[in-house]
Amino acid sequence: MQNKALDGYISYALATAHRSVDTSIKARLKKHGVQLEAWRIMECLDTENHLTMGALAKAVLINPPTLSKLVDRMVSDGLVHRLIAESDHRQINLMLTDLGRHRMLQIRKDVEDQDEVLIGKLDGREQSVLIDLLFKLSN
Amino acid sequence: MQNKALDGYISYALATAHRSVDTSIKARLKKHGVQLEAWRIMECLDTENHLTMGALAKAVLINPPTLSKLVDRMVSDGLVHRLIAESDHRQINLMLTDLGRHRMLQIRKDVEDQDEVLIGKLDGREQSVLIDLLFKLSN
DNA sequence: TGAAATTATTTTCCAAGTCAACTAAAATTA
DNA sequence: TAATTTTAGTTGACTTGGAAAATAATTTCA
């Protein structure tokens, strides 16, 4: 099915699965006109208030400068707004707007649907094993 | 350790592991001044001759326009060269140069070292299970 | 305290990626 | 076989990403 040269590298197996999964999720999100990472940001903000840019960047797996620019776009789309932190004036606390929360819920459905499709390729045992193994590789 | 909102999504677990692995490999490759994908291209060319651009794009997990431009750079770095395919004049067969093969071998060492590090986080059984599960998710 | 070091975020500048349109060759079919 | 469609690859306009520098607030500690 594909070139033999790279099979055998864990990093390649991981990249292959990631690419496949990422592509299908992004295809679904396209109609929402929002990046996958933007949705992740909104989910994080929804469950944990007063997240800083730094904490968010780690959580959603992007670098700080990339986050800054993505947040600029989200602000101009009215999804979030910036608030200077009380305790430390260098920090920014992002706040989800009502529109943001609304959009987040719409998008969540699609991501969950897609995750269902993925999960359907594995049985229950395999799912938890996979999550566990991926976690071991993460840092 | 990290925000709860996204745990539970396979897509996120996968993205997290991929990000971690990708970042550490890319850090190693930095000194070679070559992209990870460029190395993958060279490995593919080394084991299978007369690969077309289309086949390569799939193998190394990038889109055709991205591949075209990456190959432009590789050509001007003297790593590969383009050859119009005999059988079908629309197709391109990439050829690895001597310099390309040499560089490939140097880089391979680093990628293998990094893969060793990753593999060290899992025991033998887990490694093959992981590869198998990732394969099931890929398409 | 106040100069120096550290931390959080953004900006700048440039490299790389994407989508859609384009060129050219091959395959189809009427 | 000539017109049409399909396929392979590239180009162009535009967007996004990244490294390093810049800005600004906080901490450290002499």
pLDDT in tens, A26-58: 999 999 999 999 999 999 999 998 899 999 999
Mean pLDDT of chain A: 94
User: Is residue B65 scored above 60 in pLDDT?
Assistant: yes
Total domain count, chain B: 1
* Average pLDDT estimate for B40-55: 95
The tens digit of pLDDT for each residue in B70-88 reads 999 999 999 999 999 999 9
**Which residues in chain A land under pLDDT 70?**
1-3
Query: Quick one: residue B8, left, alpha or beta (phi over 0 = left, psi -120 to 50 = alpha)?
Result: left
B35 touches strand C (CB under 7 A): yes
The total number of residues written for chain B in this structure: 139
Q: Assign residue A93 a region (left: φ > 0; alpha: ψ between -120 and 50; beta: otherwise).
A: beta
Given A15, A43, A111, which is nearest B61 (Cβ)?
A15
**Domain housing B116:** 4-137
- Of B54, B46, B19, nearest in space to A134 by CA: B19
Backbone conformation region of residue B87, classed left if phi is above 0, alpha if psi is from -120 to 50, else beta: alpha
What mean pLDDT is predicted for residues B113-124? 93
Cα A18 from Cα B17, distance rounded (Å): 9
- CATH number at A22 reads 1.10.10.10
CA distance B25 to A50: 33
* Range in A70-84, A107-121, B2-16, B94-108 with the lowest mean pLDDT: B2-16
Q: Which nucleotides on chain D have any atom < 7 A from a protein Cβ?
A: 7-12, 16-20, 24-27
Nearest to A18 by CA among B98, B53, B135: B135
Residues of chain A positioned with their CB less than 8 A from the CB of B121: 136-137
Nucleotide closest to residue B64 (CA–C1'): D9
